[in-house]
Chains A and B, each alone.
Chain A
Amino acid sequence: MRPEFTLHDLLYNSLASDPGKPAVVDGDASYTYEDLERESSALGAALADSGVGRGDRVGVLVEKSWEATVAMLAASRIGAAYVNVNPLFKAPQVEYLAGDCDIRVMIGDTHKLDELSPKTVETAFYRGAKPEGQSARFYVDVEEALRGDGLKRDRRVSESDLGTILYTSGSTGMPKGVATSQRNVVVGAQIVSEYLENTPQDRILSALPLNFDAGMSQFTTSLRAGATLYLLRSRLPGDLLKALRRHEITGVTGVPPLWALLIRGAKSLRENPLTHLRYLANTGGRIPQANLDELRGLLEPSGTRIFLMCDLTEAFRSTYLAPDEIWRSSPEQGNCIGKAIPNTDIMVITKEGEEAAPGESGELVHRGPTVAMGYWGNEEATRKAYRPNPLAPPELLDVERVVYSGDTVKRDEEGYLYFLGREDAMIKNQGYRLSPEEVENLLLGSGLVHEACAFGVENPAVGQDVIAVISLRNGAEEGAVDRVREHVIKNGPPYMVPRKILVRDELPKTGSGKIDRKGISSAYANG
């Protein structure tokens, strides 16, 4: 066994123990750990030939596929950071991201590359036919690159290097990138594979997008365990059920809406239980109690254990509630998010900066080896969230940094944490954490909107619905709202499109003249 410092160290260990074992299954094609080694070496060499240096960023704009998994390892082996791009992003978000972290090479599906403005990146590796657009100055065929000779040797890479940037919704109106080190990625994989008890016998379903911290985690944990990862792109219940059965999946991780879809297949699950499914893990929001009860009823009798996880992109992973403790989360007792993941401390810090007593509310502060490096290129946000450990002894002069999550929580006498709310206005929609400013920015971008206010309204099926209240610019004509909606659909991912867009003559303001989001959202909630 090699020591685990980098993502590709995880590959080498699994390769050494069973090179012919299937690592990734994409549709009807199955790829071994040997294939993963060979093709990531070839792609790494081609990236290096295109000028990707240690520390440079490589964008991955291909849909979840064999090539997408190879791309992450290829970047890692030459000391570059991979940036998995949300496949639902439209051109404005992709172009912003490419500029924000200065993508050196974008590996993309041809149709996605062709949506981008000319010269968005210097070099693009395309999957599919040769692009017709001018999104890059130089084009390389991915298929050809994968057949290349490969690296003579890997570059020198350390665990302190930037491993990946995970983009989440930002309050400046555009996505912000969480800079995550090789160490964060590797330790995250160690922690999660340890408590999920992953082994080489596991057949893990990848049902979440790879740009999502929790989605990437299925790949890294499977890689570390020497297990087999099955890629699922569809999120329709029929495909989900068929994948679970056909591949005899042993572990699946998803977000609450996915379980709502799975429950649709209740009849089929009762008649033909998923006896191979060892665990189901939820992340990205709370499962509505009725759905959780039904899921337990359908899956627990045939031996599936249910883990409720709580992620924090700023620290990759944060807390989880173990299967035997699941009863602690209920409408009566509150939203129990469990305890810290292994090798991690969760502190509850009051406004005064002290540790809260049991039952007292405070901010969830995360300490441990998954605390990320900060927000890429955003000093203000980094200083706000990544702060010195408030409980460290004063003798430690250069104090370690911890993450202030913005979540308000409390701890009970036994040490279990309960989620109470958030200090900011983040909307939780379909497993995405969405900043209202990003929705407002998109609405204003239509050129027809004078003022915009977006907020979330509880809807158990999706978490929260996005609702927008706008005032129109002078001279906006009949049908303007339809055109605003059309603009939003064309320029933003589907989860950012408001469920309702309401028009007012003017939006209420607070004393300081800002749009009164709280007032507007509670007025809406009260009808």
Chain B
Amino acid sequence: MVPENGDARSAIRGWLQENVTGGRDVPNDEALIDNGVMTSLQTVELVVFLEDTFGIVVEDEEFDEENFGSVEAIARLVESKAA
């Protein structure tokens, strides 16, 4: 099932809970990379998840800290692509 765009935040948070934080819910504005929440390899796995779930393609140059710094930033990237 493809979630609606409005669900991007909860889908990302669900993925983080399951694969990264061991059950802890991550606020939308928490710094994911500066605080070492996610490793670069986990970020690669997240991109695969986003591409599969939302049917989007993340370009090499977009795959940076600005777009992947927080749940909010990632959701905006997804929304801009799915729009």
* Chain A window 481-518, contacts with chain B (Cβ cutoff 8 Å), 1 for yes, 0 for no: 01001101110011101000000000000000000000
Asked if A47 CB lies within 8 Å of chain B CBs, one says no
Contacts of B41 in A (CB 8 A): 257, 430, 461-462
Bits for B19-56, please: 1 = Cβ < 8 Å to A, else 0. Answer: 01111100000000111101111111000000000000
- Selected interface stretch from A1-9, A232-240, A294-302: A232-240
A156 within 8 A of B: no
Contact residues of B: prevailing secondary structure: loop
Question: Which residues of A have CB within 8 Å of B23?
Answer: 482, 485-486
Query: With A482-B23, A488-B22 given, is the CB distance from A237 to B63 under 8 Å?
Result: yes
Q: Is there a chain B Cβ closer than 8 Å to A88's Cβ?
A: yes
Residue among B20, B22, B24, B33 with most chain A CB within 10 A: B22
Residues of chain A contacted by B38 (CB below 8 angstroms): 494
Point out the residues of chain B lying under 8 angstroms from A242, CB to CB.
61, 64
- Given A261-B44, A485-B22, A488-B22, does the pair A494, B64 have CB atoms closer than 8 Å? no
CB-contact partner of A265 in B22, B60, B68, under 8 A: B60
Per the bound structure, the CA–CA distance linking A497 and B20 in Å amounts to: 10
Task: Determine if B63 and A264 form an interchain contact, defined as CB atoms under 8 angstroms apart.
Answer: yes
CB <8 Å contact, B61 and A268: yes
Report the Cα distance A238→B63, complex, angstroms. Answer: 5
Query: Looking at the complex, which one of B24, B36, B40, B68 makes contact with A261 (CB distance below 8 Å)?
Result: B40
B65 within 8 A of A: yes
Q: Hey, which chain B residues are within 8 Å of A236, CB to CB?
A: 33, 40, 43, 63-65, 68
A-chain residues with CB within 8 Å of residue B63 when the two chains form the complex: 236-238, 264
A237–B64 Cα gap in the complex (Å)? Answer: 7
Per the 8 Å Cβ criterion, residues 239-287 of A in contact with B are 239, 241-242, 257-258, 261, 264-265, 267-268
Q: Give Cα A408–Cα B23 distance, bound, in whole angstroms.
A: 41
Residue of A236, A242, A495 with highest tally of chain B CB at under 10 A? A236
A contact residues around B33 at 8 Å (CB): 234, 236
B67 at the A/B interface (Cβ < 8 Å)? yes
Closest-CB distance, B36 to chain A (whole angstroms): 5
Distance in Å: Cβ of B31 to nearest Cβ of chain A: 10
A457 to B43, CA, bound (A): 21
Give chain A residues whose Cβ lies under 8 Å from the Cβ of B35. Answer: 111
Are B60 and A88 interface neighbours, CB within 8 A? no
Pick the most buried of A461, A485, A493, A494: most chain B CB atoms within 10 A of its CB: A494
A92 at the B interface (CB under 8 A): no
Q: Nearest Cβ distance between residue A259 and chain B, in whole angstroms?
A: 12
Is the Cβ of A268 less than 8 Å from the Cβ of B60? Answer: yes
Does any Cβ of A come within 8 Å of B62's Cβ?
Answer: yes
Q: Is the CB of A239 within 8 A of B36?
A: no
What's the count of A-B pairs with C-beta under 8 Å?
70
A497 neighbours in B (Cβ, 8 Å): 22
Q: How many chain B residues touch A (Cβ–Cβ < 8 Å)?
A: 24
Docked complex Cα distance between A488 and B67 (Å): 28
Assess the B22–A486 pair: CB atoms within 8 A. yes
Q: Given that A238-B67, A486-B23, A489-B21 are contacting pairs, would A264 and B60 also be in contact in the complex, using a CB cutoff of 8 Å?
A: yes
CB distance from B57 to the nearest CB of A (A): 11
Q: Which residues of A contact B67 (CB under 8 A)?
A: 238
Is A87's beta carbon under 8 Å from chain B? yes
Instruction: Give A489 to B34 CA distance when docked, in angstroms.
Output: 16
In angstroms, how far is the closest chain B Cβ from the Cβ of A195?
A: 28
Q: Which of A233, A485, A488, A489 has the most CB of B within 10 A?
A: A489
Residue of B nearest to A484 (CB): B22
Are the CB atoms of A494 and B39 closer together than 8 Å? yes
Docked complex Cα distance between A282 and B51 (Å): 30
Interface string of A316-335 (1 = CB under 8 A from B): 00000000000000000000
Q: A257 — which chain B residues lie within 8 A by C-beta?
A: 40-41
Q: Which chain A residues (425-441) contact chain B, with CB distance < 8 Å?
A: 430
Q: Which residues of A contact B22 (CB under 8 A)?
A: 482, 485-486, 488-490, 497
**0/1 interface trace, chain A 408-444, chain B, CB 8 Å (1 if under):** 0000000000000000000000100000000000000
Measured in the bound complex, the distance between the Cα atoms of B60 and A233 in whole Å is 18
A63 to B68, CA, bound (A): 19
Could you tell me if B60 and A430 are in contact, using CB atoms closer than 8 angstroms? Answer: no
A257 and B63 alpha carbons, distance in the complex (Å): 16
**How distant is the Cα of A385 from the Cα of B35 in the complex, in angstroms?**
35
- Pick the contact of A239: B34, B39, B64 (CB < 8 A): B64
Tell me which of B20, B62, B65 contacts A234 (CB under 8 A).
B65
Find out whether the CB atom of A495 lies under 8 angstroms from the CB atom of B39: yes
- Contacts A241-B60, A264-B60 known; 12 new A-B pairs at CB < 8 A: A87-B36, A236-B33, A236-B40, A236-B65, A237-B60, A238-B62, A238-B64, A241-B61, A257-B41, A265-B61, A486-B23, A497-B22
Q: Which B residues lie at the A interface, using CB under 8 A? A: 20-24, 33-36, 38-44, 60-65, 67-68
Can you give 28 A-B contacts (C-beta < 8 A)?
A87-B36, A233-B34, A234-B64, A234-B65, A235-B40, A236-B33, A236-B40, A236-B64, A237-B60, A238-B60, A238-B61, A238-B64, A239-B64, A242-B64, A257-B40, A261-B44, A264-B44, A267-B60, A268-B61, A430-B39, A430-B41, A482-B23, A486-B22, A489-B20, A489-B22, A490-B22, A494-B36, A494-B39
The 9 closest A-B CB pairs, nearest first, are A238-B64, A235-B40, A238-B63, A265-B60, A485-B22, A486-B22, A234-B65, A239-B64, A489-B22
Interface residues of A (CB under 8 A from B): 63, 87-88, 111, 233-239, 241-242, 257-258, 261, 264-265, 267-268, 430, 461-462, 482, 485-486, 488-490, 493-495, 497
